Amino acid sequence: MATILITGGTGFIGRHLCQRLIADNWQVIVLTRNSKAGARQLPGTVRLVGNLDQLEAELIIDAVVNLAGEPLAEGRWTAARKERFYSSRIGTTEQLCSFFAARTQRPKVVISGSAIGFYGAGNGGISPVDECSPAVDNFSHQLCSSWEQSASAFEALGARLVYLRTGIVLGHGGALEKMLPPFKLALGGPIGDGQQWMPWIHIKDMVALIMYCLSSEDIAGAVNATAPNPVSNTDFSKTLGAVLHRPAFLTMPALVVKILFGQMGEELLLQGQQVIPRKVRDSGFNFQYPLIEPALRDLLSNKK
């Protein structure tokens, strides 16, 4: 039985990943700030640790998935919150690297978090963005870039390192849960001019893609964790409205978004690049949900 250490394992993506790993017979260890809450959220076979020092020197850890991070979309980006975005991601990653640097046994593979925010601002451009594309500088880019750099120390420890540049993960929870209320009330619609891209991924494909990266020896470096068919914000809104049988024409003006949400609204809601998952697509990964409409139908029919 192989052993995996996960940070952020109690989160939206982490909880789904833990279930899949347990089903595939992994021994799962989750580093968490709150073991009591973790015990309620995760299967009983998951070992919860509050501190890396709890892990025995002789324990062999084959793989690491590093997802911990203060949520970005929960409100305005104050200076204090920006500091927590950094410390929760880069601080946790540095702790992990120091922990393994001090051990003789090191993981063979490390999957570390990042996001499509790495590519920075974009607004309806026609050129697809893959893992080799240059980034546009903004706060999201700087945060993701620092997160990736902090994880790069794992390469010096001999691990195969993958940076997951994750898109908007659609599932029960996460971003979709926040979008649903206005759409259900027929108050949904495009945000700003609606031209901004929304690279998305179904939670089942997200978990499958992480499992694929764990087992595929040829995958390393940046990996775009997004479905192969990103949609514009207008097309996403139309499709969500159609799946819910609700009109979705009420536009939220860009100015209102900026007043309500400040920089968070500008970078997460009004901007977005046409990110495509070239690396895993070229390597033969099969998406179960490559298109937005079947993905939303699957998720929303299960919610009844």
In 3D space, the residue among 221, 220, 7 whose CA is nearest the CA of residue 97 turns out to be 7
Backbone angles phi, psi at 237, to 5 degrees: -60, -45
Of the residues 62, 70, 193, 235, which one makes contact with ligand NAP according to CB under 6 A: 70
> Does residue 166 interact with ligand NAP by CB under 6 A?
yes
Which residue lies nearer to ligand NAP by CB, 34 or 288? 34
Question: What is the Cα–Cα distance from 240 to 250, expressed in whole angstroms?
Answer: 13
Map the footprint of ligand NAP across residues 189-228, applying CB under 6 A.
none
CB of 92 to ligand NAP, least distance (A): 6
Q: Does 272 bind ligand NAP (CB under 6 A)?
A: no
Residue 168 pairs in a beta bridge with 200
Q: Which is nearer to ligand NAP, 226 or 239 (CB)?
A: 226
* Nearest to ligand NAP of 186, 227 (CB atom): 227
Binding part of the chain for ligand NAP, among 65-73, 184-192, 258-266, 283-291 by CB under 6 A, reads 65-73
With CB under 6 A as the contact rule, which of the stretches 4-12, 53-61, 102-110, 229-237 interacts with ligand NAP?
Answer: 4-12
Q: Which of residues 234-263 bind ligand NAP (CB under 6 A)?
A: none
**What track of x and - describes contact with ligand NAP for positions 34 through 53 (by CB under 6 A)?**
x---x---------------
Stretch that binds ligand NAP, among 28-36, 131-139, 150-158, 294-302 (CB under 6 A): 28-36
> Which backbone phi and psi does 111 adopt, to 5 degrees?
-105, 115
- The reply on whether position 84 binds ligand NAP by CB under 6 A is yes
Contact stretch for ligand NAP (CB under 6 A) within 27-35, 234-242, 253-261, 295-303:
27-35
Q: Across the strands, what pairs with 166?
A: 115, 225
Q: Which residue in the set 5, 14, 210, 268 belongs to the binding site for ligand NAP (CB under 6 A)?
A: 14
Task: Choose between 54 and 105: whose C-beta lies nearer to ligand NAP.
Answer: 54
Is position 186 an interface residue for ligand NAP (rule: CB under 6 A)? Answer: no
Q: Which is nearer to ligand NAP, 13 or 121 (CB)?
A: 13
Interface size with ligand NAP, residues (CB under 6 A): 26
Rounded CA separation 8/10 (Å): 5
Residue from the set 4, 5, 6, 10 that interacts with ligand NAP by CB under 6 A: 10
Q: What is the 3-state secondary structure (H, E, C) of the chain?
A: CCEEEEECCCCHHHHHHHHHHHHCCCEEEEECCCHHHHHHHCCCCCEEECCHHHCCCCCCCCEEEECCCCCCCCCCCCHHHHHHHHHHHHHHHHHHHHHHHCCCCCCCEEEEEEEHHHHCCCECCCCCECCCCCCCCCHHHHHHHHHHHHHCHHHHCCCEEEEEEECEEEECEHHHHHHHHHHHCCCCCCECCCCCEECEEEHHHHHHHHHHHHHCCCCCEEEEECCCCCEEHHHHHHHHHHHHCCCCCCCECHHHHHHHHHHHHHHHHCCECCECCHHHHHCCCCCCCCCHHHHHHHHHHCCC
Question: Which single residue brings its beta carbon nearest to ligand NAP?
Answer: 11
| Residue in 21, 29, 159, 169 binding ligand NAP, rule: CB under 6 A | 169
Give the interface with ligand NAP as residue ranges (CB under 6 A). Answer: 8, 10-14, 32-34, 38, 67-72, 84, 88, 92, 113, 115, 166, 168-169, 174-175
